[in-house]
Structure 1
Amino acid sequence: MNTTQANNPLHGLTLESILVRLVEHYGWEQLASYVRINCFKQDPSVKSSLKFLRKTPWARAEVEQLYLKTFQ
């Protein structure tokens, strides 16, 4: 059985690596304007953002979509 996910462009990327790359590219302020969540606006950090994104599927989906639009 082959477990490769050829149709999943995010396969092999962690949520942390996606978030760090977006922050490096946009910065917290601009990222907050694209994905409107408070953890990007008020005292942002990778740790607190990851905690929120892991609990909130719609926010995670928005971050993943922004990553795909930006880097593909």
Structure 2
Amino acid sequence: MNQASSKPEAPPAQTRNPLHGITLEMMVTQLSEFYGWDGLAQRIPVRCFALDPSVSSSLKFLRKTPWARDKVEGLYLFMLREQRRAR
């Protein structure tokens, strides 16, 4: 008898994570639409948002720079909270 099949399944670890299923590209796109590139560059002062900004150049930088990606994720969560409050 296989004991592995008698164990209950563990709940998914990501069920409470608001970033689960959200790609970095989705975050950058939604943030640029919500704040605009200028507003995004004011909130997170990096060149990829300030000088000739684009989603693709931002993704290249953010994938190589963990501290900047953390800031983008934090701003994205803040934006979601602000959108919920506005409703």
TM exceeding 0.5: yes
Q: Provide the aligned C-alpha RMSD in A.
A: 1.2
Q: 2:36 aligns with which of 27, 32, 36?
A: 27
In the alignment of these two chains, the number of paired residues is: 72
Structure 1, gaps ≥5 residues long:
none
Q: Distance in 2 between matches of 1:31 and 1:38?
A: 11
Classify the secondary structure of the residue corresponding to 1:29. helix
Partner of 2:52: 43
Structure 2, gaps ≥5 residues long:
1-8, 82-87
Identical-pair percentage = 56
Q: TM-score, normalised by structure 1?
A: 0.92
Larger-gyration structure (1/2) = 2
Q: Which structure's relative contact order is higher, taking Cα pairs within 8 Å and 6+ residues apart?
A: 1
**Alpha-carbon shift at residue 7 of structure 1 (Å):** 2.9
Q: TM-score, normalised by structure 2?
A: 0.77
* 1:69 is the counterpart of 2:71: no
